[in-house]
Amino acid sequence: MRSSSSFMLLFVLVGILFSSSSSSVWAQNGANGLDVSDTLCQGMTAEQWTCLRQQGDHSFAIVQAFRGGYQINQDTARCVADAWAANFSHVDIYVWMCPNCDGNVPASSAMDNLITYLQNNDVSFGMVWMDIELCDNDPSCWNSLQDNIDFIQEAVQTFQKNNIAVGIYSTAWEWERVFGSDFTGFSNLPLWYANPDGNETFSDFGAFGGWNWPAIKQYNWYGSDCGASYDADWYPL
């Protein structure tokens, strides 16, 4: 994600492979996918989702379901349903929240509200990715390192108590500013990291947060096809 304020081995693929469908599109010994923010999702049509699946090199999708003070993306159900209908093989959702965003505290209540929305709208998804980054590179939406850890831990535990698999989206730079460079408490969860270098490879990955190997890479922030904009993602076979 360019900004959240405006989401191998069997373990690595535990999240994105949680749900199954038909055949996948593979590229460079891996799977190509895309993620869309709440605002991009809201502007996308079913025809664009179908075009991205059929003409674009994309097999999986990750849709933003919650954004800070804007809270629940009310178009999540439609976008996820459109992605499934377009025959995407895997569809996940992602969440960005912060302790100084309206309606985000306590984190458990905010995520309970999201879970209720997902259940009431029969949203089928593989897992939820917690997006850990600053607000437009502004640290004011976060508190102390320990407060931030406790806040996101509460959100993660809320999902886990509801049998929803969780992963982490971040970069080493964002991680250090939100949680501190020494925190490794989420390293048991799959990692989706960002480096918009345009390369479908993990060779650029540097260990952080207790992770020595990621699950997914976001390698392009400016994908565009079928009249739709998106971030481009990849993971290896």
Report which of 58, 71, 73, 74 is spatially closest to residue 16, judged by C-alpha positions: 58
**What distance in Å separates the CA atoms of residue 150 and residue 24, rounded to the nearest whole number?**
38
- Count of CA atoms in the C-beta half-sphere (13 A) of 71: 14
**What distance in Å separates the CA atoms of residue 93 and residue 127, rounded to the nearest whole number?**
7
- Please identify which of the residues 47, 133, 176, 200 carries the catalytic annotation: 133
Query: Phi/psi zone of residue 155: left (φ > 0), alpha (ψ -120 to 50 degrees), beta?
Result: alpha
How do 216-225 and 228-236 pair as beta strands? antiparallel
Q: What is the chain's alpha carbon radius of gyration, rounded to the nearest angstrom?
A: 16
Specify burial of residue 217 (Cβ count, 10 A radius: 0-12, 13-18, 19+). Answer: buried
Catalytic status, residue 133? yes
In sequence order, what E strands does 70-190 have? 71-72, 90-96, 128-131, 166-170
Residues recognised as catalytic: 133
